[in-house]
A and B are shown apart, each in its own frame.
Chain A
Amino acid sequence: MEQALLGFINTLRQHDVRISTSETLDALHTADVVGYGERELLRNALAAALTKTREEKATFHRCFDLYFLAKGERHSEQQQKQQESAHPTQFELPDAVAGDAAVQAALSAPMVQAAIDGNQDAVTMAIEEAAEGVSLDTIRFNTQKGIFRRRLAEAAGTGEFDKAIEVLKAIDEEELAGPIEWLEQQRNTLDMAARDEVEHQLLLNANAAGRAIQQQMLRNTKLSALEGYHLKQLPTLIRALAKKLATRHRQRRRVDRRGKLDMAKTLRRNLAYGGVPFHTYWKQKRKDQPKLYVLCDVSGSVSTYARFLLLFLYSLTDVMPRIRSFVFTSEVYEVTELFDRHPPEQAVEMVNQKWGRGSSDYGNSFKHFVRDFGAQIDRNTTLIILGDGRANSADPGLNELRQLYDKSKYLLWFNPEPRSAWNTGDSEIKRYQSACHFVAECNSLAKLERLLDRLLTVLR
């Protein structure tokens, strides 16, 4: 039973439930305490020990049903089938050959013997043991089915039947036709059981493995190349990436927070205690709060990127300074409030619906931005501009951008176009480059993650 529990934990892991070794030990203890007798009790107890969020609990219950219930049902089904097929004909060996030593040896092989005795549980047990032997739980893809089935059947003992059949055939006696057929039938039953087991395990594993590969792929593909179905999955992935970044950068702040001992102040305040420093005061460098402004092009060609940049940034609010966000096509609109009032995913949708049309006019947009918000840009402000720098052959607004560049701490330009396409056609990115601290290519999640990681490092 322990083996089954470990198998179950493995299944959970493949479904993205994070289970550490110590939790595995907990689960084993838990099972010891509550026993395997009552399913609901075991289910509740394991759920408490193994899962740590509400989502994980839902996954847990799904897997529990799939793993334990399905296993039990399948076995009783199998047994029924075997009983039906086995009962009508009994295995009877003609007396003539019963005494033959070779025949006896072949028939006393454990699996064959079990079949002759009508021991139905033996098949179940053999399959289970064999599954472990060939590490069936590592099966991932449909294409592996054939090889695993063959290995599993062999490990479970089809070979023993083959041997027995061979021995009987070699004797070449007519009366043996019945027993040979019977043995073949038994062999097929075992083979079928192996096939069922492989199918079941694949069902448990395939989804998870597929997802892992898919996520890897999603991170590295160009965002614009993604289609509807994959786009829906991105927010989840972004949240996970953001969480990782946030954890990394939160830890650093902990170290920074305490400053040096402020001797003068400590002595002065502790005069009442005869100079004994009961209360300590710490000198802290007061850092001005950094500010982050994001200006996104949401015209047709780059709106997808704007979406994910905003989504990513707002998933990082834990560690990011306060963000003010703006979008533009031909004019600039502030969308900070939208994000304050709605969850990021919804806000991004609203932005896209409301403004995500038309073609971009950089000159006009920059002019507006400088006029309305330029006064707020100061030495603590980092400004991120997301756009492809294609000014449609109109005024690129370079002077305005230079003003922003001079006033801000950093002016970063994220360009979703691949580097090879920069400065081709109406792209003005080279000229913009002269008025930016940094121009980066950002067209996949992996690149975006790396950029934001660096951004977080410089912001504090």
Chain B
Amino acid sequence: MQPTPASTAVTQLIEGFAAAGYIASEAIATTVFLAQQLQRPILVEGPPGVGKTELAKATALHNDLPLVRLQCYEGLDESKALYDWKYSKQLLYSQVLKEQLHDILQGAKGLVESVERLKTFGDIFYSEEFLEPRPLLKALREPNGAVLLIDEIDKADYEFESLLLEILSDFQASIPEIGTVKATTKPVVILTSNNTRDLSDALKRRCLHLYIDFPSRELEQRIVHTRVPEIPESLSQQLVSFIQQVRELDLKKAPAVSETLDWARALLLLHATSLSPELVQSTLNVILKFEEDIQLVSPDIRQLLKDR
């Protein structure tokens, strides 16, 4: 069958990501392609450590755009996310201008005339000059566009989501004193969430949704190869197969891709060429972060190494 232009674009995107060091599944690439075509934000969900943040970095690298990152936390508000006024500069200028005021008002008779004269100068203190752009505004004003990463949106308050709505749907922000700031070039927006709470429907509706799960064995193998190219083939196979099996156990926190990579690097440092039960036992704390989990897996190491 003749490949459609869209599917060629998706394939190119997968290759582009691979060149940027990110192995993307077809679903991921399709979503990113769509987001660029439809100019929609992407909401990425999934367990921690599967490469949600990496996706944004790779997108920025692939498109050669600056990455603007906003890390969310409880209590994050407008003045830290969108814009703030440079208070001290305003104060300083107001002191300096006090002197000038006299000259301007010279010859004016009465209060009404003075006010009239002042009016002609406009609102200097609340102008672009005194505006301190925060990540959201910065991304909007980036002349060639940017990749805006809003990380862990689920950590921010409920109210913050409402603040985002205008930016996400129209790529503009309203600043009461100045007016509406429109994006010069619409940024690619990627939001990530660890699903610690439900996001509002209004936010979800404006986004394309992408769920990144733990990768399949074959995909994970390729990820290990790309990120840790020095690792011998047989070791990486053993390692990925072990991790994949561990994920199926009832763990408090299943090892993620980032842990697989950490482990691969650790084993490389130890000059290991294959996995032995003793080696696994002594390095298990690299992939498992809870004592209970380690105790659960320890007795079965031999078994897990045997069957693949």
- Which residue numbers of A lie inside 8 Å of B, CB to CB? 18, 20, 22-23, 26, 29-30, 33-35, 37-38, 40-41, 44-45, 47-49, 51-54, 57, 243, 250, 254, 273, 276, 278, 318
Pick the residue among B42, B43, B87, B210 that contacts A278 (CB under 8 A): B87
Q: Which residues of chain B are near A51, meaning CB under 8 Å?
A: 209
Q: Which residues of chain B are near A254, meaning CB under 8 Å?
A: 158-159
A41 touches B211 (CB 8 A): no
Say yes or no: is B40 at the interface (Cβ < 8 Å to chain A): yes
B209 touches A33 (CB 8 A): no
B27 touches A44 (CB 8 A): yes
Whether A38 touches B7, Cβ cut-off 8 Å, given contacts A254-B158, A278-B87, A318-B197, is yes
A35 touches B208 (CB 8 A): no
- Which residue numbers of B lie inside 8 Å of A, CB to CB? 1-7, 10, 26-27, 30-31, 34, 37-38, 40, 42-43, 45, 87, 91, 158-159, 197-198, 201, 204-205, 207-211
Pick the residue among B43, B208, B211 that contacts A57 (CB under 8 A): B211
B34 touches A48 (CB 8 A): yes
12 new A-B contacts at CB < 8 Å, known A38-B1, A41-B10, A48-B27: A33-B34, A35-B5, A35-B6, A40-B26, A47-B27, A48-B31, A48-B34, A49-B38, A52-B205, A53-B209, A243-B198, A278-B87
A22 touches B159 (CB 8 A): no
B91 touches A34 (CB 8 A): no
Consensus secondary structure, chain B interface? helix
Which residue of B has the minimal Cβ distance to A21?
B205
Pick the residue among B2, B27, B30, B205 that contacts A23 (CB under 8 A): B205
Alpha-carbon gap, A45 to B35, bound state (A): 10
Whether A48 touches B6, Cβ cut-off 8 Å, given contacts A18-B201, A26-B40, A250-B158, is no
B251 → chain A closest CB, angstroms? 16
A48 touches B4 (CB 8 A): no
A33 touches B6 (CB 8 A): yes
Whether A34 touches B158, Cβ cut-off 8 Å, given contacts A41-B6, A54-B45, is no
Q: Which residues of chain A are near B40, meaning CB under 8 Å?
A: 26
Q: Which residues of chain A are near B1, meaning CB under 8 Å?
A: 37-38
Alpha-carbon gap, A395 to B154, bound state (A): 51
Alpha-carbon gap, A276 to B87, bound state (A): 11
Of B7, B10, B211, most buried by chain A (CB within 10 Å of CB) is: B211
Which residue of B has the minimal Cβ distance to A29?
B38
B211 touches A54 (CB 8 A): yes
Of B26, B27, B45, B209, most buried by chain A (CB within 10 Å of CB) is: B209
Which residue of A has the minimal Cβ distance to B203?
A52
A45 touches B30 (CB 8 A): yes
For the complex of A and B, the 6 pairs showing the least CB-CB separation, nearest first, are A44-B30, A52-B204, A34-B6, A48-B31, A48-B208, A37-B4
Alpha-carbon gap, A48 to B190, bound state (A): 13
The 24 sampled A-B contact pairs (Cβ below 8 Å) are: A18-B201, A26-B40, A30-B34, A33-B37, A37-B4, A37-B7, A38-B7, A41-B6, A41-B7, A41-B26, A41-B30, A44-B26, A44-B31, A45-B30, A45-B31, A47-B27, A48-B27, A48-B30, A52-B201, A53-B209, A54-B211, A243-B198, A250-B158, A278-B91
Q: Which residues of chain B are near A276, meaning CB under 8 Å?
A: 91
